[in-house]
Structure 1
Amino acid sequence: MPHLQGVSRDAVILFPPTLDEYITADNPVRFIDAFVDSLDLEVLGFQCVIAATEGRPAYEPADLLKLYLYGYLNGVRSSRRLERETQRNLEAMWLLKKLTPDHKTIADFRKDNLTALQQVCREFTRLCKELELFGGELVAIDGSKFLAVNSRQRNYTPEKLRRALKEIDEKITRYLAELDEQDAQEQTVTLVAADELRTQIARLRVRQEHYQSVQAQLERSGQPQLSLTDPDSRSMPAGQGTVVGYNVQTAVDSKHKLIVAHEVTNTVTDQDQLAPMAQQAKQALGVETLAATTDKGYYDGEQVQQCLAQGVTPYIPKPHTSVNQQRGLYTKDDFTFDRQRDLYRCPAGAELTFRFATVESGRATRYYATPACRTCAVRARCTQNKGGRRITRWTHEHLLDDMAERVKAHPEIVAQRKALSEHPFGTIKRAMGQGYFLMKGLLKVRAEMSLTVLAYNLKRVLNILGVPKLIAAVA
């Protein structure tokens, strides 16, 4: 049996008379077109919505926005690749009505409408809320590191600069010593020629001046680290190593794993992100109360206190960071607190009573101790302090005790965190290939992330409802 044969390239083919016939009724580009047309771009803050009366005609912001939404939905983000899509992709041709803007026009649109692009993402979130796609009861908050346009070699800390300058100084000293030794011995033939040594020393001097300039720049900035390509990016721990990038925070609703709120920061850890993200999620969902679950990296008493004041009930497992545990000694968890009597009871049965209150690192702290440590039989297993064991307690630590009881009573809520939070990040980074930024600067990457989040949510909603229902919702 012969193989399948294609049509001859010289054959005359009758294409459909209109471009619209190539686009099926359930093609996502039809919703993109209807969604953008339903937006008031001028209210959202887009530039050049009203055409100028003079000068060369400009592209409508709606057309360029449609192109970007289509591109991010299909993993095409760079302006040059989007330019090519408008020239060869039937869906892009239909969406832009065969307009072919150049890559600079496309890139400038994204750069000039940073805040407006974030508003478009919020508009789609509102649409999801109107379609009752959010449960509004539980969100999972998590963070992930996204790569910046900045290599690790162009990120500096004081310690990294100190080591680099020290290494250069040692090399220069060694090369100079070799030159002096050659001069003293009057050698004409050596392993490394004198002129080559001088060339290497000159190169080291140039590097030394560069590092000294970076060091001075870092000191003037007052920041703990400095990135040369993207000044807002930071070196952050990620997985088994470090990356130079940004910390992307998301709050994911438990009903359909849709992202209800997101933020991009350059803070290295997640510790101070709980309350801001919980508040954003609560506002986006429009609810009075909300439950939020996170991992141990968000465990912070003041953040928990702020959440409770905002009507958000956090579920965070307590991390084990006690130094005494590493030493094989009793930890604070081995002591029982009596809230009514305001005292701790140690494993040996002694009572540690309140002694004094102070403020440490901005936290109101209470100290508890007992004289029984002097004659305690298990003192060697409890403390190495000559003055006996002391227990510190944050003034509002009862909030953390209550949260520990909630976590213990509802382990299923904490168990949902990974399934909810990791799904969007995995889809965005692996399936969509958008685990890195193309733009530089915190304001720009925030706009870029808004397009990515919108594309992720749109993919989910298209699978849940389908194109016809979505078009009907914005009609």
Structure 2
Amino acid sequence: MRGIFLSLLRRAILGDYLVTNHLNDQGLLHKFSKQLTRTMDIPCVSVIADKGYDSKEEIETCILNGIVPYVGFKDDKEERILTLDYEKKEITEKIRISTVPIHISACLHAGVLPSCYENTNISIEVRSEGYLGCFQRSLDQKTAICPMGFTLRRVKTKGEGMVYASRSSCRQCANRCTPSKSHKTVYFGPKAVYVAVKMYGEYPPVNVPPPDFIPHNSFFVKNRTKKTVLIRIRDDIPKQKERLCISEHPFGTVKWYHGAHYVLCKGIEKTTAELGLSFLAYNLRRAVNLIGTRAILEGIKA
């Protein structure tokens, strides 16, 4: 069983918890965050989690639903980059300050930062199709250099040609060459050395086609997206250090001082109830230490 809970009021009390039988933390961030908003009756919430919760799909879902994710980086370095489809829409001030998930999603797809994400580690910008760059294949045909200078590896053969890709390079590239949310895959024909591509972004590419090069690939697609929305999520090391005190310390207290390092019951429902008693005992003791028994009794009577 895995227990997840939230500490509120800056090292004060536990706000909510979730007991699961998942082997890891993947896929739990959004589920627990939405449970928390319902329990505490708050529209938006900021969550701090370790890199075990790092999932691009989960983080994107959280952002589209009014949840600010401070999640440790597992693959990214200084910032996490997400791409959304651009949707032209007039965003009024009423929509921008709204905390309804559908309005937050509309703002993000229109390239407007919702008010609930101001003063956070999230920034947004709209990128238009602009510069022409190219992929250049090496002489040994094992690698290819992308327009921004990253190295792509040969991943498979397709007919007489070869396909090159690098998921890690695309994750950290801010000057996108594809409107897709996934990483870029490039196909080279048997005799091709250059593959031209149109870039999304304000920075000129490192690799550009030679002056006499005529693009033989058809990137003039009718339905190709002219604009994309780029969301940047900066790493926040102080938040991660703060998580150790806010979350890990109460968990250790509950685990050892209340004998919750193992459970006696079986099944999700029974285990949830058993651990709930331990968390309740922790909150009562914590409340007594913070405000005293007299204030607690007065609050109950009121």
* TM-score bin (small chain): 0.5 to 0.7
> TM-score of the superposition, structure 1-length normalised?
0.35
Query: 2:15 aligns to what SS in structure 1?
Result: strand
SS of residue matched to 1:292: strand
Gaps of 5+ in 2: 84-124, 145-150, 171-179, 184-227
Distance 2:252 2:30 in 1: 24
Query: Deviation per CA, 1:141-176, whole angstroms, max 9, x where unpaired?
Result: xxxxxxxxxxxxxxxxxxxxxxxxxxxxxxxxxxxx
> Which among 373, 377, 383 is matched to residue 153 of structure 2?
383
Q: CA-atom RMSD, angstroms?
A: 3.7
Structure 1 segment 44-83 matched on structure 2, within 5 A:
none
**Is 1:297 aligned to residue 67 of structure 2?**
no
Q: Distance in 2 between matches of 1:413 and 1:456?
A: 24
- Is 2:150 aligned against 1:340? no
> Offset at 1:432?
2.0
Distance apart, 1:312 and its partner CA: 1.1
* Distance in 2 separating the partners of 1:420 and 1:313: 17
- Residue 318 of structure 1 deviates from its aligned partner by 2.1
Q: Name whichever structure is richer in helix by fraction.
A: 1
TM superposition shift of 1:286: 2.5
Equivalent residue, structure 2, for 1:128: none
Name the structure 1 match of 2:71. Answer: 316
**Residue type matched to 2:165 in 1?**
R
Rounded to whole Å, the distance in 2 between the matches of 1:430 and 1:474 is 29
1:434 aligned residue: 260
* Distance in structure 2 (CA, Å) of the matches to 1:342 and 1:417: 40
Taking a change above 3 Å as real, the CA distance of residues 418 and 299 of structure 1, as seen in their structure-2 partners, is same
Q: 1:252 aligns to what SS in structure 2?
A: strand
Pick from 230, 248, 264: which aligns with 2:19? Answer: 264
Q: How far has the Cα of 1:261 moved from its partner? A: 1.0
Amino acid at match of 1:269: N
Q: TM-score, normalized by length of structure 2?
A: 0.54
Are the aligned partners of 1:295 and 1:317 in contact in 2 as well (CA < 8 Å)? Answer: yes
Mapping 1:198-277, distance limit 5 Å: 246-277=1-32
Greater strand share, structure number: 2
Output the amino acid matched with 2:298: A
Specify every segment of 5 or more residues in structure 1 that has no aligned partner in the other structure, as ranges.
1-245, 322-330, 353-369
- The structural deviation recorded for 1:248 is 0.9
Query: What's the CA shift for 1:287?
Result: 2.3
Residue 395 (1) aligns with residue 165 (2): no
Partner Cα distance (2:289, 2:13) in 1: 12
Say if 1:313 and 1:288 are closer, same or farther in 2 by CA, change over 3 A: same
Per the alignment, residue 453 of structure 1 pairs with 279
Shift of 1:255: 1.8
Alignment of structure 1 residues 18-57 onto 2, 5 Å: none
Counterpart position of 2:137: 373
Cα deviation code 1:267-318 (max 9, x no counterpart): 1111111011111222233323221110111111222222223311111122
1:305–1:399 contact (8 Å) kept in structure 2: no
Give me the whole-angstrom Cα distance separating, in 1, the residues matched to 2:140 and 2:128: 22
Q: Which residue of 2 aligns with 1:281?
A: 36
- Aligned to 1:340, the other structure's residue is in SS state strand
What is the alpha-carbon distance in structure 1 between the residues aligned to residue 143 and residue 65 of structure 2? 43
Aligned residues: 191
* Bigger-Rg structure (1/2): 1
Contact 2:62 2:68 in 1 (8 A): yes
Evaluate the alpha carbon distance shift between residue 414 and residue 421 of structure 1 in structure 2; reply closer, same or farther with a 3 A threshold. Answer: same
